[in-house]
Amino acid sequence: MFKRIFVFLVFVLVTVVTQVGGLAFALAWAIGRALPERMRGLKRGAIYAAVFVGGYVMLHSFVVPPLAAIGGRIPLPCTAESGRPFAAAHSLYCWLDRHYVDARLIALMTDLSRDVERAYPGTVTLFLDANLPFLNGFPLLPHLSHHDGRKLDLAYYYATPGGSYLPTQTRSPIGYWGFEQPVATDRSMCRRGSWLTLRWDMNALQELLPAIPMEPERTRHALRWLAAEGRVERIFIEPYLAARLGVASPVLGFQGCRAARHDDHIHIQITR
């Protein structure tokens, strides 16, 4: 019984994280069940792992992209190129198939990254979580709204403490959870103490991350460009940070006190 529960939980986990990982896991489990009973231990485990990894790579590379395109989602390019200076902040977003979007978001990212690069040559704009390949309404955990191809998170631009821009670098390895911090004069939107929330402060983690600040000029430029862009209907960023950057717009919003903090990234949503 314990083994069946464990297998089910692993299936749910890889499905929730990558969506199609559950198919690869089911394939590995079915093949593993067909193996002779005398084959146990490390050898059996190695076959499970090889089938899972091989099946996942095949699905990820050859099956998912054309099927996702039928439903209107295509993968964001993961590396920057000349004329398209944006990239994934970490290759993990692409390998986990968390980089699928409505095609209009690719056009938006291309235009945004070109504009920032024109203003600040050598700048690369980085994206974080987008959406999974299939099914409107299927959650991209831990996000509450990345479920229809129209949402995308952008990393901040970062600099050395002396102010020199750090290309393609984020404060945390995956771009999330390296929070900017409000000061005493910043207006607080949320009371502390609520337990049912995704608004984690992760104070212990902050001490482990490099002390590199957000680069304000590039971040301000990108935020103003997005706020003035008619294709964008909603932007989430912590209000104190928008005020600090001097950006105001009707499309700027606060995600609420139950959702994750947005002073480590910018969340954008395009129009329907």
Q: What is the pLDDT of residues 205-245, one digit of tens each?
A: 999 999 999 999 999 999 999 999 999 999 999 999 999 99
Decide: residue 116, CB within 10 A, 0-12 exposed, 13-18 middle, 19+ buried: buried
pTM above 0.85, yes or no: yes
User: Average pLDDT for residues 43-48, to the nearest whole number?
Assistant: 79
Q: Which amino acid is at 67?
A: L
User: How does 153-174 read in b/e, with b if 16+ C-beta sit within 10 Å?
Assistant: bbbbbbbeeeeebeeebbbbee
**Architecture of domain 73-270 in this structure:** 2-Layer Sandwich (3.30)
Give the Cα-Cα-Cα angle 55, 59, 60 (nearest 5 degrees). 115
Q: Which residue has the higher pLDDT, 134 or 47?
A: 134
Where exactly are the structural domains of the chain? 2-70, 73-270
Binning pLDDT at 50, 70 and 90, where does residue 39 land?
low
